[in-house]
Chains A and B, each alone.
Chain A
């Protein structure tokens, strides 16, 4: 287990390293001058040169990257805005805040959104899927299948504004979604996020329904399940103890992927509901051409995806003892 974790983590670090090079090249190595993006429409050569010097763009690309890496691991005192401790992505061009501090500031929103959304879509998705598999072939099954097909084809940029318009603007049943800190007031935290959670879970639940249904049906046809039934175990016991455990692997796989990519920023959801998370931060930094911030979000998000890939693979060994990690 330990060997597996070490090996996979090293692999993830290598990928992150390559990814940082590619992203860095994409942002800073293009023939087009990033300072021009910052300088804006009222630009003169004087201010351009000034920006170049302040951002260190007058150095060569490998030199800039080396400085970036140095700052990332060792921190730097070279910034005009002040010192920048160890995981240092520099300072935002736009707000002049530390990138790492901004990321950490935005993270709780994204984590709240993800965890709440995950709770609801697992509950709804798996519940419906199991129900459909239990009542296979009945009207319940058919409507669950059809419903998940249609809901799964919905997009957050349609369902989100629709939910906002109906529940907030037209009927005034809910207040506008907002992020309030859990530690300050759990109730406003909950009410502020309930609409985003439900919208997110409506769309994500569909694939869990489909997945749970099809793998449960597959598992129920396995021979060990038939044997268990034949020796007199109840249908319910076999359903939850035998078939359910067998169908966990594909569900855990998808769940890990979803969780990883949501934690890296649920871009469209956060943008739609105006939640100040990592995804919204990414969109804002694109509009302000804030390259250090964008680079920070990119690497953070990729790290989340890789981290959850490793967690999922490690989880296989717990779910299915036959899986050997090596």
Chain B
């Protein structure tokens, strides 16, 4: 099935990646053919932009994951109020005395104007909070999208009609407005407005509202894909041989919709990161003292920072641009690797 040219191309890239082996042996391996997943992986590895962006994205996730460890090695934490602990570092307004936002060998990214938190650990922990929330939203939306999308596409009929109408309806929602409007309501489900809101409630509420309006695009795509898959012979064969609908969905349909799921979720995740950061920027998401990427922006937009020393602004700003650009490039590369026909 595979053309010889393809096989040769694959073979060289294997050699380039440094898996030496006797020629005869790899020759035999080549003839076995490759699964679509392997082919995709080979194509992806040849895409230099994609690989670099994957490393960058991976670096951010690693930083988020290892934030406590890095902070420990670095010897600081994002909760210490240095304006109280070390008042000699700040002027009367709370701006770091040293130039460039108080960057020094002790405080690598400087000190936050106002409370004087350590910016380096604040950023690490902020990335950690934001990425955890966004990954949770992505998982929740992907699971919902799969369940409802495949159900609508495969079952058809009344359930298809119902789910499609719900999708159409939710797509008409003004998303950002809905997020900010429903956050306090969802929070008030858990705690009385008179009490202090614990952070985990805010996290759950952030995940819930973004999930509620996040799953439709994937569900719509999966509905279309499984609608066309349903008419294919191998599904029919499975049905004739007595497989239950659940088994057909699990064994026949799901493996065939992995591509749109992966591609779509690499496009969705950066969107969730920026949406979550936007909410925290508006003061509706995560609030101090819990570190959060978006909340750093809200600190950066205070007059204290804008008037005196704007260095602080660049740490969350530049890191987020790098993250989003890398993730978008990665998304394009993943799509190209899965579907080489669509040229950019």
Does chain A have a CB within 8 A of B214? Answer: no
Nearest CB on B from A38, distance (A) = 9
CA distance A267 to B294 in the complex (A): 15
B321–A157 touching, CB < 8 Å: no
Does chain B have a CB within 8 A of A198? Answer: no
Nearest CB on B from A138, distance (A) = 17
A30–B189 touching, CB < 8 Å: yes
A282–B181 touching, CB < 8 Å: yes
Task: Specify which of B169, B181, B182, B281 is in contact with A18 (CB 8 Å cutoff).
Answer: B169
Q: Binding site of B, secondary structure by majority: helix, strand, loop or mixed?
A: helix
- Chain A residues with Cβ under 8 A from B328's Cβ? 149, 153
Which chain A residues (80-127) contact chain B, with CB distance < 8 Å? Answer: none
Task: Specify which of B168, B174, B310 is in contact with A301 (CB 8 Å cutoff).
Answer: B174
- Chain B residues with Cβ under 8 A from A199's Cβ? none
Does chain A have a CB within 8 A of B178? Answer: yes
CA distance A41 to B194 in the complex (A): 5
Which chain A residues (297-323) contact chain B, with CB distance < 8 Å? Answer: 297-298, 301-302, 305-306, 309
B310–A302 touching, CB < 8 Å: no
Task: Specify which of B298, B306, B310, B321 is in contact with A150 (CB 8 Å cutoff).
Answer: B321
B310–A165 touching, CB < 8 Å: yes
Which chain A residues (256-284) contact chain B, with CB distance < 8 Å? Answer: 261, 264-265, 267-268, 271-272, 279, 282-283
Task: Specify which of B282, B303, B317, B325 is in contact with A162 (CB 8 Å cutoff).
Answer: B317
A286–B174 touching, CB < 8 Å: no
A165–B181 touching, CB < 8 Å: no
Known contacts A268-B282, A286-B184; A32/B189 CB under 8 A? yes
A282, A286, A302 pick with most chain B CB within 10 angstroms: A286
Task: Specify which of B173, B281, B325, B344 is in contact with A302 (CB 8 Å cutoff).
Answer: B173
CA distance A272 to B303 in the complex (A): 11
Known contacts A264-B177, A302-B174; A154/B188 CB under 8 A? no
Known contacts A19-B172, A149-B328, A169-B306; A267/B184 CB under 8 A? no
Known contacts A15-B172, A153-B321; A298/B178 CB under 8 A? yes
B177–A32 touching, CB < 8 Å: no
User: Interface residue tally of chain A, by bracket?
Assistant: 35 or more
- Chain B residues with Cβ under 8 A from A279's Cβ? 177
A155–B277 touching, CB < 8 Å: yes
Does chain B have a CB within 8 A of A161? Answer: yes
Does chain A have a CB within 8 A of B324? Answer: yes
A32–B188 touching, CB < 8 Å: yes
Does chain A have a CB within 8 A of B176? Answer: yes
Does chain A have a CB within 8 A of B56? Answer: no
CB-CB nearest in chain B for A36 = B193
Does chain A have a CB within 8 A of B113? Answer: no
CA distance A63 to B81 in the complex (A): 52
CA distance A31 to B172 in the complex (A): 26
Does chain A have a CB within 8 A of B14? Answer: no
A153–B325 touching, CB < 8 Å: yes
Nearest CB on A from B257, distance (A) = 26
CA distance A19 to B174 in the complex (A): 10
Q: Binding site of A, secondary structure by majority: helix, strand, loop or mixed?
A: helix
B310–A306 touching, CB < 8 Å: no
CA distance A272 to B281 in the complex (A): 9
- Chain B residues with Cβ under 8 A from A165's Cβ? 305-307, 310, 313
Does chain B have a CB within 8 A of A244? Answer: no
Known contacts A36-B193, A153-B321, A294-B181; A161/B188 CB under 8 A? no
A157–B294 touching, CB < 8 Å: yes
Map CB proximity to A onto B155-199 as digits: 1 under 8 Å, 0 otherwise: 000000000000011001110111011111100110011100000
A31–B181 touching, CB < 8 Å: no
B321–A154 touching, CB < 8 Å: yes
Does chain A have a CB within 8 A of B264? Answer: no
Known contacts A157-B301, A158-B317, A297-B177; A26/B172 CB under 8 A? no
CB-CB nearest in chain A for B299 = A161
Which chain A residues (17-52) contact chain B, with CB distance < 8 Å? Answer: 18-19, 23, 26-27, 30-32, 36-37, 40-41, 43
Nearest CB on A from B342, distance (A) = 11
Nearest CB on A from B243, distance (A) = 38
Map CB proximity to A onto B270-293 as digits: 1 under 8 Å, 0 otherwise: 000010011001111000000000
Task: Specify which of A37, A168, A268, A306 is in contact with B188 (CB 8 Å cutoff).
Answer: A37
Known contacts A161-B306, A301-B177, A305-B172; A43/B281 CB under 8 A? no
Task: Specify which of A30, A36, A272, A298 is in contact with B192 (CB 8 Å cutoff).
Answer: A36
B193–A37 touching, CB < 8 Å: yes
CB-CB nearest in chain B for A268 = B278
A286–B313 touching, CB < 8 Å: no
- Chain A residues with Cβ under 8 A from B173's Cβ? 19, 302
A169–B192 touching, CB < 8 Å: no
Task: Specify which of B189, B281, B310, B317 is in contact with A268 (CB 8 Å cutoff).
Answer: B281
CA distance A314 to B337 in the complex (A): 37
Does chain A have a CB within 8 A of B320? Answer: yes
- Chain B residues with Cβ under 8 A from A283's Cβ? 180, 282, 284
Known contacts A153-B325, A155-B274, A169-B307; A162/B177 CB under 8 A? no
A interface residues (Cβ-Cβ under 8 A, vs B): 15, 18-19, 23, 26-27, 30-32, 36-37, 40-41, 43, 149-150, 153-155, 157-158, 160-162, 164-166, 168-170, 214, 261, 264-265, 267-268, 271-272, 279, 282-283, 286-287, 289, 294, 297-298, 301-302, 305-306, 309
B interface residues (Cβ-Cβ under 8 A, vs A): 168-169, 172-174, 176-178, 180-185, 188-189, 192-194, 274, 277-278, 281-284, 294, 297-298, 300-301, 303, 305-307, 310, 313, 316-317, 320-321, 324-325, 328-329, 344
Can you give 10 A-B contacts (C-beta < 8 A)? A27-B185, A32-B189, A36-B193, A158-B316, A161-B313, A165-B305, A168-B306, A268-B281, A272-B301, A297-B181
Instruction: Kindly list the 7 A-B residue pairs having the minimum CB-CB distance in the complex, ordered from nearest.
Output: A161-B301, A165-B306, A153-B324, A158-B317, A301-B174, A157-B281, A32-B188
Beyond known contacts A32-B189, A283-B180: 12 more, CB 8 A cutoff? A19-B172, A26-B182, A153-B321, A158-B320, A161-B300, A161-B306, A165-B310, A264-B177, A267-B177, A282-B177, A286-B184, A302-B173
